[in-house]
Amino acid sequence: MGFPEPDANLPNCSNLTVNWTNATDGQAFTNLNPIAFGASTTVNTGSIAQVEFFVPNASVGVDNTSQYGLTWTPPAYGSYTLKAVATDNAGATATNQISISAQLPGTCGTVAGLNATAITSAGATLGWSAVSGANNYTVDYKTNTASTWTNAATATTSISVNLSGLTANTLYDWRVRANCATATGAYSTTQFTTALVVCCGTVTGAGFRIHHLLQCHCGLGGLIVRCKFIKE
């Protein structure tokens, strides 16, 4: 007496499962670059024989060694259904399916309308025009002779930022870029010069004292560089 053929619809008694790693359902990938996927498996009895990967129903690779993985390159921009099918040593299978997309790299506009207002000897207000599609902006500044930028704002949703603690009578560079959902715009850069310090009062020198009212222009560190007498 022979034995009946196995029923392909028998329940998965080994509680075999398979899950995607390095990818989630609905995830978008930029450009048509190779994508490294992985799969994790669990089984209560027996062992894993292999994990086979499909896009959507055509096999694109089989891995029979843990950690199970696949590197696949989207052939064109668009949406794709991926399936990972794990098979145990008894022939039971488990499937996990996700959808992903390959998208063109996004673009983000360049900021225009840069301006510096309310300039004093120690501060300024920097402003710019809004960029369509921008989520926020990044702003940096530095003295014209410096090589390193100082960040003034990161991910600000405003279209202006206030600077303080600047040095009088100094040329500054500043730049701003827009940050969009899938891309970052190029920096726009311009300059402004902080104001001279104007100080009034009596000036005392070595061996003499002047009691006239002076208007003085001061340089770095507040040092007087030139003065003129003003009628009291």
- Comparison of pLDDT for 205 and 150, the residue scoring more: 150
Quote the CA–CA distance of 34 and 25 in Å, as a whole number.
Answer: 18
pLDDT digits (tens, 9 = 90+) for 4-60: 444 445 555 568 899 998 888 888 888 888 999 899 999 888 889 999 999 989 999
- 52 touches 73 (CB < 8 A): no
C-alpha pair distances (Å), 65 with each of 46, 49, 85, 86, 95: 15, 8, 14, 12, 17
- Comparison of pLDDT for 204 and 143, the residue scoring more: 143
Other CB atoms within 10 A of residue 143 CB? 15
How far is C-alpha 41 from the geometric centre of its chain's CA atoms? 33
Is residue 62 exposed (0-12), middle (13-18) or buried (19+ Cβ within 10 Å)?
A: middle
Place of tokens 């190029």: 186
Task: Please say whether the dihedral angle defined by the alpha carbons of residues 111, 115, 117 and 123, taken in this order, is positive or negative.
Answer: positive
Question: How high is the pLDDT of residue 158?
Answer: 97
Other CB atoms within 10 A of residue 222 CB? 11
Position 93 confidence tier, pLDDT thresholds 50, 70, 90: very high
Quote the CA–CA distance of 227 and 26 in Å, as a whole number.
Answer: 69
pLDDT above 90 (res 214): no
Q: Which domains does the chain have, with CATH numbers?
A: 17-103 (2.60.40.10), 115-193 (2.60.40.10), 197-229 (no CATH)
Question: How high is the pLDDT of residue 210?
Answer: 44
pLDDT digits (tens, 9 = 90+) for 127-169: 999 998 889 999 999 999 999 999 999 999 999 999 999 999 9
Question: How high is the pLDDT of residue 101?
Answer: 85
Closest Cα to residue 135, out of 173, 186, 181, 73? 181
Question: How high is the pLDDT of residue 211?
Answer: 43
Other CB atoms within 10 A of residue 52 CB? 21
